[in-house]
Structure 1
Amino acid sequence: MKELINQYKNGLLEDVIPFWSRYSLDKVHGGYLTSLDRKGNVFDTDKYAWPIGRQVWTYSKLYNEVEKKPEWLEIAMSGAEFLVENGMDEDRKFYFSFDQKGNALKKPSNIYSDCFAALGFSQYYKASRNAKYKTLAREVYDRIEKRWSNPKHVFNKETGFRPMNCMGKLMLDANMALEMEGVLDDEKIVSLKSNSIHNLLTHHYDETLELFFENVAPDGSHPDTVDGRLIVPGHAVESMWMVIDLAAQTNDINTIEKATDITIKMLSYSWDDRFGGIYYFMDWKNKPMQWKLDWDQKLWWVHNEALIALLKAFHHTKRADVWFWFEKVHTYTWKYFPDPEFGEWYGYLNRRGEVLLDLKGSFKGCYHLPRSLFECWKTLEKIEHDNDKS
C-alpha cells in the first residue's frame, strides 16, 4: 500500500504540479497559458475560461488540503484575478476565450465556463479568505441556476421538439454540493445533494439495461437516436464517485453500494477486451457513432475518473471485485499515459494505446489528472489506515 500511496503522491507533487507551475504561468498578463506541447512549450497564446477556472481550483485545493505553500496561492490568485478582470461580458456571463492580454475573443456558447469559474472562486475563497471571492462564487452560481433551463441561451439550436435531459447538469450539481459548502447557503447545498443523487441514480441509470445514459427523455426513456443511445463511460464513473462522497457524508451505505455497482457495471461494459483501456464513447445498440469519430480513443480523464471512483468505492465497501478493477485500470493507466521523458501525462491515445497527440495542455489542462492523483493518494491513505486498525 505504501508503494501505491507514494506513486500517486509523487506523481502529483513531483511531476504534474511542477510541470504546470514551470510552464503555464503568464507572468506578464496574468492567468495561464494552457496550450502546451509535450515539452511544455506554448504553441498558442490564447486563453480559455474553462481551463483557467479549473486551474484556479487545482492550486487552491492544493493550498487548502496539502500544504500552505505561498507559490500555490499566488498561482491560484493569478488565474482568479484574470477571470475577474477579463472574464465576463456585460451580462456577467463568462466568455469562452481571450487573447493573451485578456481581450475577449469568443462569447460564451454554453454555461460551463461559468460553472468552473464558480468552483475556482469558491476554492480560492477558502484559500485566500478574501470575501470578494465568496461573493463572486455565489453570484456566479445564482446566474448559473437561473440559466440552467436554457444553458446555451442564444446559441441553442434545438427546436424543443425532442427534449432531452443531459446528465452534465446533475454531475455539476453534485460537484458544487461537494465543493461549495461554506459558500452557498446550507439549504441550497442540501437541495443540490438530494437532487443530483436521486436523478443520477434513477433517471440516467437504467436498471433493466444496467447502463448509465448520457441523455434521457424527460420520462426517462431512451429515444432510438444517436443522442438517445449515447453512453459516455467517463461521465458515468465521474458522477458515481461524487455520489459516493455525498452519500458518505450521511453514511448512506445503500447509495454507496448502488454507485459502486454502477461503476463496476459501466467499466465491465466499456472495457476494451482486445487492447485494454476504456472506450471514450459507446452506442448501447452498437450502431455507428456518426458524430463521435473518436469513440474508440483512450483518453486520460476517463481513466483518471475511473481510478477515483474505484478507490472511493473500495474504501467504503472493501469489495474484491472493486479492487480487481482498480488494479486493472491502474495497470493500464500507468503503463500508457505518463511521459517519463518530459513529464506530465499524454492525454490522447488511439485504441491500441499509442500516442495520438503528445501535447500536455489545450483542453486537457491542469484539472482531471492532478485531481485524480490527489483523490487517489488521499483515499489510499484512508484505506491503509483502515487496514492498520483491523
Structure 2
Amino acid sequence: MDNYAEIYKSELLNEVVPFWEQYSVDQKYGGYFTCITNKGVVYDTDKFMWLQARQIWMFATLYQKVKPNDAWKKMALHGADFLESHGRDTGGNWYFSLNQHGAPLVQPYNIFSDCFAAMAFSALHQIEPLAKYEQIAKSTFQNILNRRGNSKGKYNKVYPGTRNLQNFALPMILCNLSLEMEPILGSDTVQEVTQSVIDLIMNNFYQAQSGLVLENVSDEGKFVDSFEGRLLNPGHAIEAMWFIMNLGLRNKDYDLVKKAEQIMYQQLEHGWDQEYGGIFYFMDYKGHPPQQLEWDQKLWWVHLETLVALAKTYAWNKSPKAEAWFKRVHNYTWTHFRDKENGGEWYGYLNREGKVSLNLKGGKWKGCFHVPRALLEIWKTLEKVTENK
C-alpha cells in the first residue's frame, strides 16, 4: 500500500485541482461554474448553492491541510463573496440555485445547501478568521438543527400524517458536519449532536438482521414496506461509516470503530456488481425492482467514498481484507472514472457495464468535491501509515 499515497497526491495536485482552477471561476459575476464538459467548456451557467459551498470548503481545506497557497485562499474567498451576497433568503435559508448573476432560481427547499454552506464558512474561518464567517457558519448550523424535524418545511410535497419518514442523509451529514465545525462549535456541542445521530444510524437505519442500512425509516425508526422504505444506497451507507469511524477514533470508542467497519463491509459486499464490477447506485431491501431507473448506474462518489472508507480501515487495523478490497475498488475506479485522454477532473456517470454515460466533468449534482476530497483523504491517510512504519 506504500505507493498509493503518492499516486493520490499526484492526481489531486497535478490533475484535479488545476482543472477547477482553470475552468470553474466566473470572473465577471462571481462564484463558480460547475457545468463543465470533458474539454473544459461551460455548458450551463446556473449556480447551485451546495456545489458553490463545497468548492469553497475544498479550497479552504487545501490551504489549511496541504499548504498555504495564496491562490487557493483567493479561490475560496471568491466563492464566499458570491454566496454571502446572493445565497440566502431573508430568513437565512440557503437557496438551491441562482442564475449566473446571482438572482434566485429555486427556493431553499433543500437543507443540504445549508449543510455545505455551514461547512464552507466554518472552513473559511479557519484560514481567514473574520467574525462574519463564524456568524454565518453558526447561524446556518443552528438553522439546520431547527429544521431537522421537517427539513423541507413548506416545500414538503408529502401529505401530512400519512407516511412520515426519516431520511438517512441528514443524520449522515451531521456526523461529518459537526466534526468539521468543532473549532467554532466546541466539543460539547459536537458530542451532543453526534451522539444522537450515531444512535439513530446504528440502531434505526441499520438493520442488524440483514446487515443493511435503509435510506428511510418511519418516525419511530421502523422499517416501512414501500418503495422509499425498501430503498438502499450502498454508497451513502459506506460514506457514513467512515464519518462514524472518525468520530469513534476521536472519542476513543474503538467498539464503535469496529462496528462501523463491519457495517461498511456488509454494504460493500451486498452492493458489489458480481457481473460487471463496481457498486450499484440503488438497491431494494427485498430484492424488488427499485423505483429509480438509474439504479444500476455506477457513480463516481460511491466508489471514491468507498476507497476513503477502505483506506481508513486499513490505517486502523492493517487488515488483509481492507487491503484486498481497496486494491479491487481502486482498480475499477481508476480504470473507469478517470479521464485518461483529457486528464483533469474525473467522469461521474457510468452505465452498468462501466462505459461513460455523460461526458461532463461537472453539472447540477457533481462539482469540486468528491474527487478532490477523496484524493486528499486517501493521500493523507495512507501517508500517515507509511510514516508510522
Amino acid in structure 1 at the alignment position of 2:287: N
Whether contact under 8 Å (1:264, 1:325) holds in the other structure is no
What is the deviation of 1:258? 0.5
Whether contact under 8 Å (1:76, 1:124) holds in the other structure is yes
The answer to whether structure 1 residue 244 and structure 2 residue 208 are counterparts is no
Whether contact under 8 Å (1:17, 1:370) holds in the other structure is yes
Q: Give the match for residue 168 of structure 1.
A: 169
What is the deviation of 1:279? 0.1
Counterpart CA distance in 2 for 1:185 and 1:83 is: 25
- Counting matched residue pairs gives 386
Q: Which moved more, 1:198-207 or 1:367-376?
A: 198-207
The answer to whether structure 1 residue 83 and structure 2 residue 83 are counterparts is yes
Q: Give the match for residue 307 of structure 1.
A: 307
Amino acid in structure 2 at the alignment position of 1:265: Q
Whether contact under 8 Å (1:264, 1:322) holds in the other structure is no
Q: Give the match for residue 54 of structure 1.
A: 54
The answer to whether structure 1 residue 384 and structure 2 residue 386 are counterparts is yes
Give the secondary structure class of the aligned counterpart of 2:182: coil
The answer to whether structure 1 residue 185 and structure 2 residue 186 are counterparts is yes
Amino acid in structure 1 at the alignment position of 2:201: L
Q: Give the match for residue 107 of structure 1.
A: 107
Counterpart CA distance in 2 for 1:67 and 1:310 is: 26
Counterpart CA distance in 2 for 1:232 and 1:288 is: 14
Whether contact under 8 Å (1:57, 1:76) holds in the other structure is yes
Give me the CA root mean square deviation.
1.1
Counterpart CA distance in 2 for 1:346 and 1:92 is: 34
Q: Which moved more, 1:146-155 or 1:63-72?
A: 146-155
Counterpart CA distance in 2 for 1:129 and 1:219 is: 42
Amino acid in structure 2 at the alignment position of 1:152: K
In structure 2, the gaps of 5 or more residues are none
Amino acid in structure 1 at the alignment position of 2:321: D
Amino acid in structure 1 at the alignment position of 2:290: M
Whether contact under 8 Å (1:240, 1:262) holds in the other structure is yes
| Alignment TM-score, normalising by the size of structure 1 | 0.97
Counterpart CA distance in 2 for 1:279 and 1:15 is: 27
Alignment match of 2:372 (pick from 367, 370, 373): 370
Give the secondary structure class of the aligned counterpart of 1:90: coil
Counterpart CA distance in 2 for 1:320 and 1:193 is: 30
Whether contact under 8 Å (1:240, 1:309) holds in the other structure is yes
Q: Give the match for residue 261 of structure 1.
A: 262
Spell out structure 1 runs of 4+ moving beyond 6 A.
none
| Alignment TM-score, normalising by the size of structure 2 | 0.97
The answer to whether structure 1 residue 71 and structure 2 residue 71 are counterparts is yes
Counterpart CA distance in 2 for 1:196 and 1:248 is: 16
Amino acid in structure 1 at the alignment position of 2:199: H
Q: Give the match for residue 340 of structure 1.
A: 340
What is the deviation of 1:3? 2.3
What is the deviation of 1:18? 0.3
Counterpart CA distance in 2 for 1:104 and 1:165 is: 28
Counterpart CA distance in 2 for 1:328 and 1:268 is: 12
What is the deviation of 1:186? 3.0
What is the deviation of 1:385? 2.5
What is the deviation of 1:227? 0.6
Q: Give the match for residue 201 of structure 2.
A: 200
What is the deviation of 1:2? 4.0
Counterpart CA distance in 2 for 1:161 and 1:226 is: 15
Q: Which moved more, 1:368-377 or 1:311-320?
A: 311-320
Identity of paired residues, percent? 43
Counterpart CA distance in 2 for 1:312 and 1:185 is: 25
What is the deviation of 1:185? 3.5
Give the secondary structure class of the aligned counterpart of 2:100: coil
Counterpart CA distance in 1 for 2:358 and 2:43 is: 13
Q: Which moved more, 1:227-236 or 1:155-164?
A: 155-164
Q: Which moved more, 1:316-325 or 1:354-363?
A: 316-325
Whether contact under 8 Å (1:211, 1:266) holds in the other structure is yes
Alignment of 1:272-351 (within 5 A): 272-290=273-291, 292-343=292-343, 344-351=345-352
Give the secondary structure class of the aligned counterpart of 1:357: coil
Q: Give the match for residue 355 of structure 1.
A: 356
Counterpart CA distance in 2 for 1:272 and 1:245 is: 28
What is the deviation of 1:309? 0.6
Whether contact under 8 Å (1:257, 1:317) holds in the other structure is no
Whether contact under 8 Å (1:347, 1:360) holds in the other structure is yes
What is the deviation of 1:250? 2.2
Change (3 A) 1:106 1:219: closer
Amino acid in structure 2 at the alignment position of 1:132: K
Whether contact under 8 Å (1:164, 1:217) holds in the other structure is yes
